[in-house]
Chain A
C-alpha cells in the first residue's frame, strides 16, 4: 500500500537546517534527504501549489517552520480556519486548480469542517493538511487531539493518515490526484507531529505518477448510450438542456455551447452551472429550481426530453420528484454513477466526463438535423410566451425616497462592472438576487455555496478568487447576517492587500428566514431580526478600509462608481434595502416544477 515500497532505509540524521543529499558509495546520482516537514513544503512547490490558506498551531509547527524557510509557496494567514477552507475553495472554483489548506490539530481541524463540507457538497477540489498530535499520543485524549479523519469521514472524497515520513510524497500525490480527478472533492491528510520532525530525514523524490488500483475514473462515455441519446435528441419535440456544475468543473463550457447552438434548443442551468452557457443568449432560459426563472421551470415541466449533463437532480431543482417533468424522457450524463437515477430515474444513463461525452454528441449530430422542426418552432413560441408573461413584472424598482430594492442594486452592479466581475455570495435572499440579476456570460464567475448553503462562505471565497485574478473585479455580495459570520477576515485582507468589494445588502434581518416566516409562520419573525447591528462604516474604518453607506436610490450609482474606481482597493458598500422584499419566483412546496409563487399575490 501507500509508500510501502519506499519505507525506511534508516538513513542517517543531521541536525543542521536545510536540505542535505546523500551520495551513493560509487559517487553517482545523489538523492535528496528531507525531513517530513521539508518534504511537504517541497512537494507543494513541485505540485505547482501557489497559495496555502492556513493557521498555525502546535502540531503544525514543524511544517510552518519548513514554509518559513522557502519562498515558492505563499502562505496566507487567515483569522479563522473556516475562512482558510472557503478561501481555498474560492481559489479552486475560480482557477480550476485544487485549493490547499493547512491547519493544526484539534480545534484548528474542527474549525475547518464547515468549509470541507461546503467543498464536498459542491465537488470542489481541495487538499486539507491537518496537523495531528504525535503518533504515540493518538487515542490518549492528548492536548488538541481530535480524530479528524473520523470527524470528516462523511464529508471527504477520501482521507489519509501519514504513518511514516517516507510516505509523505506519495500520499500527498494521491491526495491531489484524488481531489482533482473524476468527480472532484476535498481530501484530508492527517499528519502526526512526529512525521514532520526536523531531525529525521528520508529520501525525497517527487512522484510524477500515481496509480490507485481501486480508483479509475471514467474517461469517456458508452458510445452506444451516447448514440441512443443523440437519436432521442434529434427526434425531440420539446427538448431542454439542463446542465450543472459538472460542465464548469469538467471544462466543457465551449463544447456545451457548441452543441446547444448547433441544435438550437433551450438551455437552463443549475445555480452551480451558471455561466457555462452565456446567459445573454436567446437560447438561455436562466437557471432553474426553487428560485429559478419562470420560463425555465415551465419549460422543464412541459418538456418531452430533458438532457441533463453534470447536474444531480437536487431537491432544490426538482421540487417534488413524484411530480417532476411528467412527460419527459431523461438523458442523464454524469461522471459519478451514483448521481444517476439517485432521485429521478434516467431513461438513458451515460457515465462519463461532460467534455468527452458532449464532443462525441457533437460528432454525431454534425450532419444531421432535428426531425421535427415545426414542433420545435412551436416549442420556442411557447417558451417566448412564458418569457413575455413575466417581462417587466419581476420586481418594482424603488422611486426616489423609497428604500432600494435588492434586485435593482444587483442589476446596477452588473451594469457598472459590465457583467464581467467575479461574484461570490453568502447564503440567503442576497444569494438568489445575485444569481437572478447579475448576468453571467462566462463560467467560474458566480461562486456560491450551492449544496451546503454555508453562510460565511462569500467573503473568504472572494479573497481566494481575488488571488487567482488580481486584475479583475471580485465582489462579495452578502447580507449583514452572513457577513458577520466571517468578518474577521478584514484583517487578512489588510495584511495581504486583498482588494475585494463587499456589497452588504442590509435589510436588518435574516432575509430568507424572514421570507419563510412570512409565508409559513404568519410573519412570526422568530430570531430572524437583528436589533443590534454594528455601525458597519466604523467597523470597516477600524481596519483602515473605506465604507460607503447607501440609503436611497439616488446614492447608489455614485457609490458604485467610487467603489469600483480602483480594482485593488477593498471597499465596503453598506446598502440599505427594503426588508419586506421577497425572492420570487418560488416553488410551492411538494408541487411540480411549474408550481410557483410569482409575487406576494400571484401564483401559477
Chain B
C-alpha cells in the first residue's frame, strides 16, 4: 500500500542525507520526496511517499524516528488528509493543438502559465492521481517536459504535525 509520511526535520546540514540514506541503506522505496522550510526556521518539513506492506511501513517509521534529526513524523495515510502535488508540463501546441491543449487544461482546472510559438507550459495542482490522468490526457498531443514537485500533504481537521 502507498503511504505518505510527513516529517519535521531539524534544519541542519546533512539532515536530509540521513533520511534519504536510510531509505537506500535499508532497502526501503521512495516514490516521491518533497522538502522545504516551515514557519519555524529551525525545522524543515519533508514528505515522502513510499510503498510497502504494514511490516515495512512500521519499520520505516520506526527507523526514521530513530534518526536524531527527525523531530516528529506522521503517516498521513492513517487518517483523513489532503494530498497535493504541483506539476509544470510543456506541451506541443501548434495550430489546432493550441485549442485542444487549452480545453483539456480547463477540464483539469489547470492553467497555461507560459506561451511560446509551438509550446504551452501548463501548471496543474492536485493529488498524484489527477496529475497522472492529466499526463495521460496530454500524451497524444505531445508532452515535451514534465516537472513535478512530489507529494506534499497535511491532515484534515484539527490534527496537526507540530511541536
Which residues in A have some Cβ–Cβ distance to B below 8 Å?
1, 149-150, 153-154, 157-159, 161, 178, 212-215, 336-338, 341-342, 345
Report the number of A-B residue pairs with Cβ-Cβ less than 8 Å. Answer: 42
Q: Assuming A338-B66, A341-B55, is B71 touching A214 (CB within 8 A)?
A: yes
Contact indicator B18/A337 (Cβ below 8 Å): no
Q: Among B10, B13, B58, B66, which residue has its beta carbon within 8 angstroms of that of A341?
A: B58
Contact indicator B55/A215 (Cβ below 8 Å): no
Tell me which residues across on chain B come within 8 A of A178, comparing CB atoms.
68
Tell me which residues across on chain B come within 8 A of A153, comparing CB atoms.
14, 17-18, 21
Contact indicator B59/A214 (Cβ below 8 Å): no
Tell me the minimal C-beta distance from B78 to chain A in angstroms: 17
Known contacts A150-B17, A154-B25, A214-B10; 20 further A-B pairs (Cβ under 8 A): A1-B12, A153-B17, A153-B18, A154-B21, A159-B14, A161-B13, A161-B14, A212-B68, A213-B163, A214-B68, A214-B70, A214-B72, A215-B68, A336-B66, A337-B62, A337-B65, A337-B66, A338-B63, A338-B65, A342-B59
Q: In the bound complex, what is the Cα–Cα distance between A158 and B71 (angstroms)? A: 14
Q: Assuming A1-B10, A149-B14, A150-B17, is B62 touching A157 (CB within 8 A)?
A: no
Q: In the complex, which of the residues A149, A154, A157, A214 has the most CB atoms of chain B within 10 Å of its own CB atom?
A: A214
Residue of B nearest to A2 (CB): B12
Q: Which 3 residue pairs across A and B have the least CB separation, nearest first?
A: A338-B62, A214-B71, A158-B68
Q: In the bound complex, what is the Cα–Cα distance between A215 and B68 (angstroms)? A: 6
Contact indicator B68/A1 (Cβ below 8 Å): no
Tell me which residues across on chain B come within 8 A of A159, comparing CB atoms.
14
Residue of B nearest to A214 (CB): B71
Q: Which of B43-93 contact A (CB under 8 A)?
A: 55, 58-59, 62-63, 65-66, 68-72
0/1 interface trace, chain B 1-40, chain A, CB 8 Å (1 if under): 0000000001111100110010001000000000000000
Q: In the bound complex, what is the Cα–Cα distance between A342 and B61 (angstroms)? A: 12
Q: In the bound complex, what is the Cα–Cα distance between A345 and B71 (angstroms)? A: 27
Residue of A nearest to B24 (CB): A154
Tell me the minimal C-beta distance from B64 to chain A in angstroms: 9
Q: In the bound complex, what is the Cα–Cα distance between A345 and B54 (angstroms)? A: 12
Q: Among A149, A213, A336, which residue has its beta carbon within 8 angstroms of that of B71?
A: A213
Q: In the bound complex, what is the Cα–Cα distance between A150 and B18 (angstroms)? A: 9
Tell me the minimal C-beta distance from A492 to chain B in angstroms: 33
Is B42 interfacial (CB-CB < 8 Å)? yes
Contact indicator A338/B59 (Cβ below 8 Å): yes
Tell me which residues across on chain A come within 8 A of B59, comparing CB atoms.
338, 342
Q: In the bound complex, what is the Cα–Cα distance between A159 and B12 (angstroms)? A: 11
Q: In the bound complex, what is the Cα–Cα distance between A336 and B59 (angstroms)? A: 12
Q: In the bound complex, what is the Cα–Cα distance between A149 and B14 (angstroms)? A: 8
Tell me the minimal C-beta distance from A342 to chain B in angstroms: 6
Tell me which residues across on chain A come within 8 A of B12, comparing CB atoms.
1
Tell me which residues across on chain B come within 8 A of A157, comparing CB atoms.
68
Tell me the minimal C-beta distance from A478 to chain B in angstroms: 31
28 chain-A/chain-B pairs, Cβ below 8 angstroms: A1-B10, A1-B11, A1-B42, A150-B14, A150-B17, A153-B14, A153-B17, A153-B18, A153-B21, A154-B21, A159-B14, A161-B13, A161-B14, A178-B68, A213-B71, A213-B163, A214-B68, A214-B69, A214-B70, A214-B71, A214-B72, A215-B68, A337-B62, A337-B66, A338-B62, A338-B66, A341-B55, A341-B58
0/1 interface trace, chain B 113-126, chain A, CB 8 Å (1 if under): 00000000000000
Q: In the bound complex, what is the Cα–Cα distance between A178 and B72 (angstroms)? A: 18
Q: Which of B112-154 contact A (CB under 8 A)?
A: none
Tell me the minimal C-beta distance from B14 to chain A in angstroms: 6
Tell me which residues across on chain A come within 8 A of B58, comparing CB atoms.
341
Tell me the minimal C-beta distance from B91 to chain A in angstroms: 39
Tell me which residues across on chain B come within 8 A of A150, comparing CB atoms.
14, 17
Tell me which residues across on chain B come within 8 A of A338, comparing CB atoms.
59, 62-63, 65-66
Q: In the complex, which of the residues B13, B21, B62, B163 has the most CB atoms of chain A within 10 Å of its own CB atom?
A: B62
Tell me which residues across on chain B come within 8 A of A215, comparing CB atoms.
68
Residue of A nearest to B9 (CB): A214
Tell me the minimal C-beta distance from B19 to chain A in angstroms: 11
Q: In the bound complex, what is the Cα–Cα distance between A342 and B58 (angstroms)? A: 9
Residue of A nearest to B58 (CB): A341
Tell me which residues across on chain B come within 8 A of A212, comparing CB atoms.
68
Q: In the bound complex, what is the Cα–Cα distance between A415 and B117 (angstroms)? A: 91
Residue of B nearest to A215 (CB): B68
Q: In the bound complex, what is the Cα–Cα distance between A214 and B25 (angstroms)? A: 22
Tell me which residues across on chain A come within 8 A of B10, comparing CB atoms.
1, 214
Q: In the bound complex, what is the Cα–Cα distance between A1 and B40 (angstroms)? A: 12
Tell me the minimal C-beta distance from A146 to chain B in angstroms: 15
Tell me which residues across on chain B come within 8 A of A149, comparing CB atoms.
14
Tell me the minimal C-beta distance from B69 to chain A in angstroms: 7
Residue of A nearest to B14 (CB): A149
Q: In the bound complex, what is the Cα–Cα distance between A342 and B28 (angstroms)? A: 13
Q: In the bound complex, what is the Cα–Cα distance between A214 and B11 (angstroms)? A: 12
Q: In the bound complex, what is the Cα–Cα distance between A336 and B11 (angstroms)? A: 25
Tell me the minimal C-beta distance from B134 to chain A in angstroms: 38
